[in-house]
Each structure stands twice: as structure tokens, then as C-alpha cells.
Structure 1
């Protein structure tokens, strides 16, 4: 079970890809070949502000300590997020793989443009990004191009979070612990990387 990390004292969140794809160099000057692999995923690097000795800061530190042996989860609050598109959007059909997923439950004519979202599969959030743009039809269905490609075989009804996506995975970098000086706690920095 993942520990939900609150946005208390979070100063900065940076999202970046964790790549398992690569390039194969061409032989004797031949062209390079892009090699896509299932398994590319995301990491967020998080920094807190200077923390006070108060209940909110103690709670954050306690949750981070717990997450060192469990996984951590945090909402992706990214700047310039597109306007909300509502809830109830789910995967339309089991057995989907690849870089396009079929969804249902959107409002008709909803436009999906380069936004991060998470899919809950097997009880865990998996972050993806809309490639380009797509629009739901009159029935609220859409074929959504995504990056990276799915890392699992979908189940019908897997829930998609577009308005409040979450990233979930291993807490990394908190092994340095917490530093205190006088009546303050030093800023913390850590990462959450998706496991699968």
C-alpha cells in the first residue's frame, strides 16, 4: 500500500522520463535506429521549502519515513494544467497494449491535448502523457495516443485520472534523512520513481 504524500511545504516538483528505450548506432556510418521498449516510465524530483517545527512538517516527515519501506504517491500538480475534463473516464475494453488506448466515459467533444494522466491498474497509478491531440466522439469514446506505451495489459474499466493524476512508486533519495538546525528543519529533496 502506498503512502500518500501531502503537498505540505512542497516547493518544487519536476517530472522526467525514466527510459529503457534507446538508439542502436548504425554500422560504418549507417543510420541510427530508434529502439522502443515497453517499460519507459516517469520519475518526479521533489524539493520542500524550509520547514517549521509544526504538526504539518512532522506529519510530512513521518509519512516520508513510512514510505521508505512502502511506496509513495503524490498528486502531479503541474503548472499550466489544462482545464478539468471530469471524472468517469475508463479504459474501453480489456487486453489493450501499445501506444493508443481506447477510452469511454468522456463528455462528448472533449478535447485531449498533451496532458499528463494516470491509469489505475492493479491498484496502482501509472502515469502517461497524451501525445498530440484527440477528441471524444458523441458517445464519449476516444482513441487516445499516449506516451510511453502501456506497460501492462489493460483491464476493461481501468480508471483514468486526468484532472488529478498521481504518480506512485519507490521513494528514492530520502536515505539521507532529515536535518535540523535550531528551530527549523532543513529543506528535503527526494524522488518518486514508478516501479512498473
Structure 2
């Protein structure tokens, strides 16, 4: 999995939820229904500030070229939201599925606020989720976190939960990767990442 060099931080980040469900509209004008399907995930459009080609620009281009086939992982900007010090949260018990995760290892009393971003790292892959409701860890450091979207893969017992620096991991999508080189020898780059699973 490719990561960008230290100090290369996006100046534009546009996330979107890819929804595999849909709306069923009856042909006779009856009530519409929402059909939910598993597999919803996130995609982000990323733009980077101008990067001097002589120093970092060529390295960033090289890594993005490799990321096209190997995938990429970048930190999700939290836009001024401080998600605190959660402790060392882990999935508590294997075989979990659905729209919540039972976890332990939290710092007692730590609060997951609605809208916090988090990863569940399963098999080395970072799955991105959003906390759908507030919850506070009990005195034993346990909490049940409501998630959006639903779990895409059942995590193993003791899989790591990341709240301090959540990441988006996936593939660079599109048929090509392009970049610009200014007369000032700066590289301009934008690309899209879609979670692969």
C-alpha cells in the first residue's frame, strides 16, 4: 500500500458515499421504498497544493503511478475536529456484522461523538466508517459504536480501531493519472480514491 511522503498534505478533499442501495418506485404511483444493500463505501477527490518538482513533486508523481496498481492510503483531514485520546480501542469479539461494533480498550469515559471518523483495520486493510451516534466508554473501557455504512467485512477479535488519525485506503480510480508542471517548476496533482472493499 502506497503512502504519500511526509509533509504532503491535501489542500482540497471532497468525500462522497457510494451507495449500492436504491429507491424502488412502483409504476402505479404507490409508496416508494428504500432497498438497502451491503457494500456502501467512500470515495474522495483529493487535490494537492503546488509541490516543487525538484524536491517532492517527482516523488509524489512516482508514488501515485505505483498507487494506480498497488492502492494508496492517506490520512483523512478532520477539518479542525479534535477526536481526542481514545486509548487503544480494539474490536471485542469476532463474528460481528451489521451497523455497530462492540469494542474495548478505550480510555474509560472517552466519548465518541456523532460524526467522528474511524477505521477498523481488518487483515491489514483500513475500512473507513462514520460514527452514527454518540457513545461514551464505560469504566471498563467498553463501548458499542453505531456505524455508517454497515460493516463490509466481519472483523476479527482484537482488530485495531483507529480514531486519532483515520485513513482512507483504496484504489486510485479513473482511466489515467495526469499532472501539470508550471513554469515555476511546481507539480499540480489531483486524483480520486475509492475504497476497494
* TM-score where L is the length of structure 1: 0.92
Cα displacement (A) at 1:155: 0.6
Check 1:145–1:56 CA distance in 2 against 1; reply closer, same or farther (3 A cut).
Answer: same
Displaced runs of 4 or more, over 6 A:
none
Q: Tell me the SS of whatever aligns to 2:66.
A: helix
- How many aligned positions are there? 195
Structure-2 residue corresponding to 1:59? 59
Q: Is the 8 A contact 2:83 2:163 kept in 1?
A: no
Q: Tell me the SS of whatever aligns to 2:106.
A: coil
Q: Is the 8 A contact 1:50 1:184 kept in 2?
A: no
**5+ residue gaps in structure 2?**
none
Structure-2 residue corresponding to 1:147? 148
Q: Using the TM superposition, name which of 79-88 and 45-54 deviates more.
A: 79-88
Q: Using the TM superposition, name which of 87-96 and 50-59 deviates more.
A: 50-59
State the alpha-carbon separation in 2 of the partners of residues 12 and 87 from structure 1.
30
Question: For 1:28-51, what per-residue CA distance to the aligned partner results, in whole angstroms no more than 9, with x for missing partners?
Answer: 222211111110000111011222
Structure-2 residue corresponding to 1:37? 37
Q: Is the 8 A contact 2:119 2:162 kept in 1?
A: yes
Check 1:33–1:71 CA distance in 2 against 1; reply closer, same or farther (3 A cut).
Answer: same
Question: For 1:139-187, what per-residue CA distance to the aligned partner results, in whole angstroms no more than 9, with x for missing partners?
Answer: 1111111000000112101101001011111112481423323332442
Q: Is the 8 A contact 2:91 2:160 kept in 1?
A: yes
State the alpha-carbon separation in 2 of the partners of residues 67 and 52 from structure 1.
20
**5+ residue gaps in structure 1?**
none
Cα displacement (A) at 1:64: 0.7
State the alpha-carbon separation in 2 of the partners of residues 93 and 145 from structure 1.
16
Asked whether 1:130 is paired with 2:131, we answer yes
Q: Tell me the SS of whatever aligns to 2:156.
A: coil
Structure-2 residue corresponding to 1:8? 8
Please give the root-mean-square deviation of Cα atoms over the aligned residues, in Å.
1.7
